[in-house]
Amino acid sequence: MSLWPQSFVLSCSVPLFGAVVSVSLAIGGEIPLSDRMSGYDFMSRGTQAMQDDDSANPGMLWVLDGEALWNAADGATSKSCADCHGDARLSMKGVAARYPAIDRAGSRPVDIAARVNICRAQQQKANPLPLEGRKLLAISSYIGLQSSGMPISVAIDEGTRPFLQNGREMFLQRQGQLNLSCAQCHDDNWGQKLSGAPIPQGHPTGYPLYRLEWQSLGSLQRRLRNCLIGMRAESYPYGAQEYVVLELYLMWRARGMKMESPAVRP
Amino acid sequence: MTVPTRRQILISAVALIGGTGMSSLLAIKPTWATPAMMRAAIRKVIGEAPLRKGKVRLDLPPLIENGNAVPMTVSVDSPMTEADYVKAIHVFNEKNPQPNVLSIRLGPRAGKAAISSRIRLADSQTVTAIAEMSDGSFWSDEADVVVTLAACVEGI
Amino acid sequence: MARALINVPASAKRGEVIEIKTLISHPMEPGYRPNSTGEILPRDTINLFVCTYNGEEIFRAELSPAIAANSFIAFSTVATASGKLEFKWTGDNGFSATESVAITVE
């Protein structure tokens, strides 16, 4: 994981394009902040309506499950999430909007799902929930809902900056049999069509979300795997640090945009 | 023995291929619904009664992003009184594996003859909605839809 | 585990037409899809959805595999009296789910 010297980034960002908004970390090809659009804006009105109506949004079925799990005792301690965190509507407000975050005990960023499992192991003395399983998705979506409408705001400091740089490198790196980078579709060609479908900008504003293609709620990691498979690249296993680092970059790239979890996407 | 017709040759070729287990490689599709099957399914429901266009409104997006869940609304112009109401609404398709979609029983207690659901459409096609009125008449509406797929899908 | 999400107004005026939205957790496996080894996954769908209002049937829907997973059905009814709306879904493999919601009618 290389560390780009601050001065090098500063000096190369200015001549590359006119609208340099974030001087310290901007690089050519990035979508100007004011041009950013959520995947919601690329959907048909029918699918948007599905997301907007809590009685029609299939993701809400997972949120209901998540609420029940939040209040259910588990582990050797027979504690529920609520026993420590109380009402999620208060204690989890804004939390998903600032993840991935550095886990206080460790030094690497973790996503919400990993954080839940850390809590389960340390506080509830419970087994970790299977990654991408229904229960973990349910709790993640319940936590995600508590940030609905709030601006994405991941902390960028000495702790996270190296991971952010790493995540950006991943985003710009060509890979797979098609030799494509994320940036080539989602920075350079968003709004154009791929197999008849519009290419969105790739902001993780709504995760975990109900993807019509999956007929199920799934995490950002599942969607990233779809992308990697689509590019004919090797996909990492669920829980891989690569996904968390990439998510950190994507959340920083989407900073200020509103959380929509649980979203609906085609 | 007569010279085998082209049709007979093709049928025996398919049988041979099927017998050697290569059918999956050639991706021979199972028999799916056709517009004729849809018409037959409609006839089963309405019998010999004439099917008139009107009174029914079938709302489907003309361009569908993912055929797995397509929002659909069917509404029928009817006072929904004891004397004049919609008894049933039936929806059919012509290219899914089978022609039926949804069959609804209503009555004057509905207040409004309008239902919404989400349906699956396997291909670009025509979808038909039929309303059965209390006086025994049948009315219909059709919608032509184009079904696309989301890009970057999972492998099977 | 939550099976269904029902949206009914908690109260209504007598004679008012109210909208009812129902969402149920179910894979609606159509019976035509192959799994990763090429075997066709067997059909597992909801076949019937019935709603009763104080015991009287007000809505009935026969679902086919062409209804999307996590089935959504919205319909309306006239608010006649206070009481209970009951919803029942039945399907393949002995699937059965019921929910009920109270309604107050002034």
Chain A: residue whose CA lies nearest to C23 = A56
Contacts with B44 from chain C: Cβ below 8 Å: none
The reported pLDDT for the residue numbered B153 is: 59
What are the φ/ψ torsions at residue B2 (nearest 5 degrees)?
Answer: -75, 155
Q: Is the pLDDT of residue A253 over 60?
A: yes
Which of B28, B117, B123, B153 should one mutate to test binding to chain C, selecting the residue with the greatest count of C CBs within 10 A?
B117
Q: Which two tokens stand for residue B120?
A: 């699956």
Q: Which CATH superfamily is domain A59-145 in?
A: Cytochrome c-like domain (1.10.760.10)
For chain C, the distance separating the N- and C-terminal CA atoms, rounded to the nearest angstrom, is 34
Chain C: residue whose CA lies nearest to A63 = C2
In one-letter notation, the amino acid at residue A199 is I
Which of B89, B93, B118, B130 should one mutate to test binding to chain C, selecting the residue with the greatest count of C CBs within 10 A?
B118
The reported pLDDT for the residue numbered C7 is: 97
Contacts with B155 from chain A: Cβ below 8 Å: 229
Low-confidence ranges of chain B (pLDDT < 70): 1-31, 150-156
**Domain ranges for chain A:** 1-30, 35-53+152-265, 59-145
Cα B77 from Cα B91, distance rounded (Å): 16
Contacts with B121 from chain A: Cβ below 8 Å: none
The helix or strand, by DSSP H or E, that contains position C12, with its residue range, turns out to be strand C11-12
Q: Is the pLDDT of residue A140 over 70?
A: yes
Candidates A153, A136, A163, A241; CA nearest to A205 is A153
The reported pLDDT for the residue numbered A41 is: 97
Q: Which of A55, A65, A215 is opposite residue C23, by nearest beta carbon?
A: A55
* pLDDT interval class at C1 (50, 70, 90): low
Cα B94 from Cα B80, distance rounded (Å): 30
The reported pLDDT for the residue numbered A9 is: 35
Q: Which of C21, C25, C74 is opposite residue A61, by nearest beta carbon?
A: C25
Contacts with B153 from chain A: Cβ below 8 Å: 213, 226, 230
A189 min Cα distance to partner chain B (Å) = 14
Supply the range of the domain harboring residue C58: 4-31+42-105
Q: Is A38 helix (H, G, I), strand (E, B) or coil?
A: coil
The reported pLDDT for the residue numbered A124 is: 96
Chain C: residue whose CA lies nearest to A59 = C70
The reported pLDDT for the residue numbered A16 is: 39
Q: Which stretch of A71-85, A152-166, C34-48 has the lowest confidence by average pLDDT?
A: C34-48
Considering the domain boundaries, does residue C68 fall inside one?
yes
The reported pLDDT for the residue numbered A74 is: 96
The structural domain count of chain C equals 1
**Average pLDDT for residues A132-148, to the nearest whole number?**
98
Specify the fold of A35-53+152-265.
Cytochrome Bc1 Complex; Chain D, domain 2 (1.10.760)
C68 to chain B, any CB pair closer than 8 A? The answer is yes
A211 to chain B, any CB pair closer than 8 A? The answer is yes
Considering the domain boundaries, does residue C53 fall inside one?
yes
Considering the domain boundaries, does residue C46 fall inside one?
yes
CATH of the domain at C60: 2.60.40.10
Q: Is A211 helix (H, G, I), strand (E, B) or coil?
A: strand
Give per-residue pLDDT as tens, C12-22. Answer: 999 999 999 99
Domain B32-147: top CATH class? mainly beta
A240 min Cα distance to partner chain C (Å) = 23
C31 min Cα distance to partner chain A (Å) = 15
Considering the domain boundaries, does residue C63 fall inside one?
yes
Considering the domain boundaries, does residue C15 fall inside one?
yes
B71 and A214 within 8 Å at the Cβ level: the answer is no
Burial of B129 (0-12, 13-18, 19+ CB in 10 A): buried
Cα B137 from Cα A254, distance rounded (Å): 56
A227 has catalytic annotation: yes
What are the φ/ψ torsions at residue A169 (nearest 5 degrees)?
Answer: -60, -40
B102 and C75 within 8 Å at the Cβ level: the answer is no
Q: Is the pLDDT of residue C34 over 90?
A: no
The reported pLDDT for the residue numbered B24 is: 41
In one-letter notation, the amino acid at residue B71 is P
C45 to chain B, any CB pair closer than 8 A? The answer is no
The reported pLDDT for the residue numbered B35 is: 87
CA distance readout (Å), C42 to A37, A228, C28: 40, 30, 10
- Count of CB pairs separated by less than 8 Å, A with C: 37
Considering the domain boundaries, does residue C36 fall inside one?
no
A12, A81, A119, A227: the catalytic one is: A227
Are A251 and A171 contacting, i.e. CB atoms less than 8 angstroms apart?
no
Chain C: residue whose CA lies nearest to A62 = C2
